[in-house]
Amino acid sequence: MKNYDSAAEALSDLKKRGYEADFSTDTICLYCGDLDIRFNPDEFRVDEEYHFKGDPNHDEDAVVVAITSSSGVKGTLVDGYGSYIENISFEKAKQIQIHSAI
């Protein structure tokens, strides 16, 4: 995996590598508004994940996640740590994927 200095740098490189869709979390799935599609945790895999620490005086820690769906759609999700209170947790999504592969 590569090392990036910022979330913007990571996003730029990932887009160059084909991760073009912009995902957001939606209840228990990922959603891409531009394509109007949703993916449940068993319909995508997390390819890469990058964590960035923000200013210690602010809650600006961020995670950039590169995702590929089972149908081949590649995109990214950008969010802050701890903001998944009512949404999907990627740690949970990874656990679901690992358990379903066993």
Q: What is the pTM (predicted TM-score) of this model?
A: 0.74
**No. of H helices and E strands in the chain?**
2, 6
One digit per residue, the tens of pLDDT, for the chain of length 102 reads 788 988 899 999 999 999 999 998 887 888 999 999 999 888 999 899 888 876 554 455 788 999 999 999 999 998 775 444 334 455 555 544 443 443
The predicted pLDDT at position 2 comes to: 85
The tokens 């997390």 sit on which residue? 46
Q: Decide the pairing of beta strands 37-39 and 29-32.
A: antiparallel
